[in-house]
Amino acid sequence: MSKQQALANVRQYLAEGHFEADLRRRIAIRSESQNPGQAHELTRYLQQEIQPALIAMGFECQMLDNPSGAGPLLFASRHEGADLPTVLTYGHGDVVLGYDEQWREGLSPWALSVEGDRWYGRGTADNKGQHSVNLTALEHVIKQREGRLGFNVKVLFETGEECGSPGLREICTLHRELLQADVFIASDGPRLNDSRPTIFLGSRGSALFSLEVNARDKGLHSGNWGGVMSNPAVVLANALASLVDKDGRIRCRTLVPDAIPDSVREAIRDLDIHPRSLGRELDVDWGEPGLTLGERLFGWNTVEILAFIAGNPTKPVNAIPPRATAHCQLRFVVGTDWQNLQKLLRQHLD
């Protein structure tokens, strides 16, 4: 029942290509939650890949309908005793859009490609790779301990994380007793670098919002109307510039916390975040002034513009666009009044 033997078994499992085969099957399922045409693949991923793996380890599984109408969820439980601690873990089976045409020659988002010690494919790093590692670890510990973990495990899989986890809060509220546990451990997100394993005890929240300027019903020739008719793209660009300045500092100060707690500052200080520590050069002059790079990354808020649309970006014409839209995101820490985001934005823009 040794830890070393369990690790040796896992290494053998990896060396024989079994883990690669598991991940290869999962990568091939086009579970793009942002693509309505692939909704059936979200269900298939849970029912054909995750559920059989859990059942084989002695889990009882049940599919949960999403109250938002988005992709389904899967709950599974492995119970060994009422007197034992319970671990709740999480994964998401959906991925972002494949963007097949943007992958370099020889790579496909839907086929696992191995180049040296790097594996490529949509989901390898978010989140199929992580939850496959966790399932493999559970499987080998169960075998090594002759069928007993020594604790209970509950698992929640969703299929909408990449589009904001619609319905997840409602599901967790509705099934609060079902999800009750002593500790929550999940694997999703980056490492500080490729050689340093990282445990996060918390992360910034995410709130999505869109801004739109809708000026008129059609575009107007810029030679005939320019100078006497407003340009929605210009209006919206200035609105966005009023939210965050040219150096990435949030100008709408109701969207930032009062301060970073000393305990958080101390924890971040130990991470030793410097311009080259994360695998690519950081923009040292970007973000909130007066904070370290680590504090900007883990302890402060950011407003990000994810997409800006006006006119026809691929085939621009000599016309003032009738409307402009920006899709934005607030990444926030504790102490942010994110529940009143719409009200705070409206007051600031007014």
pLDDT confidence of residue 86: 98
pLDDT confidence of residue 1: 58
Q: How far apart are the first and last CA of the chain?
A: 66
Per-residue CA distances from 33 to 164, 166, 184 (Å): 10, 11, 24
Burial classification of residue 249, based on how many CB atoms lie within 10 Å of its CB (0-12 exposed, 13-18 middle, 19 or more buried):
middle
E-strand ranges in the chain read 60-64, 73-78, 86-92, 113-115, 118-120, 152-158, 183-184, 205-214, 220-221, 302-310, 319-320, 323-332
pLDDT confidence of residue 196: 79
Report d(CA 214, CA 233) in Å as an integer: 10
What are the φ and ψ backbone dihedral angles of 74, each rounded to 5 degrees? -125, 130
The tokens describing 46, both together, are 């849970």
pLDDT confidence of residue 192: 85
The tokens describing 330, both together, are 């607030």
pLDDT confidence of residue 240: 98
pLDDT confidence of residue 201: 84
Per-residue CA distances from 102 to 107, 109, 204 (Å): 10, 10, 29
The CB density around residue 130, as the number of other CB atoms within 10 Å, is: 19
Long-range contacts of 284-291 (CB under 8 A, 24+ apart): 285/247, 286/247, 286/248, 287/247, 287/248, 287/249, 288/248, 288/249, 288/250, 288/256, 289/247, 289/249, 291/260
10-residue averages of pLDDT along the chain (350 residues): 87 96 98 96 97 98 95 97 97 97 96 95 96 95 93 98 94 96 91 82 91 97 97 98 98 96 93 89 96 96 98 95 98 96 98
Report the chain's C-alpha Rg in angstroms. Answer: 24
The tokens describing 187, both together, are 């694997």
Q: In sequence order, what are the beta bridge partners of 75?
A: 62, 156
Task: Note whether 151 and 77 are within 8 A (CB).
Answer: no
Can you list the domains of the chain with their CATH numbers?
Answer: 3-184 (3.40.630.10), 205-349 (3.30.70.360)
For residue 127, which amino acid is it? N
Report d(CA 230, CA 189) in Å as an integer: 42
According to DSSP, residue 104 is labeled: P
Report d(CA 123, CA 31) in Å as an integer: 9
pLDDT confidence of residue 202: 83
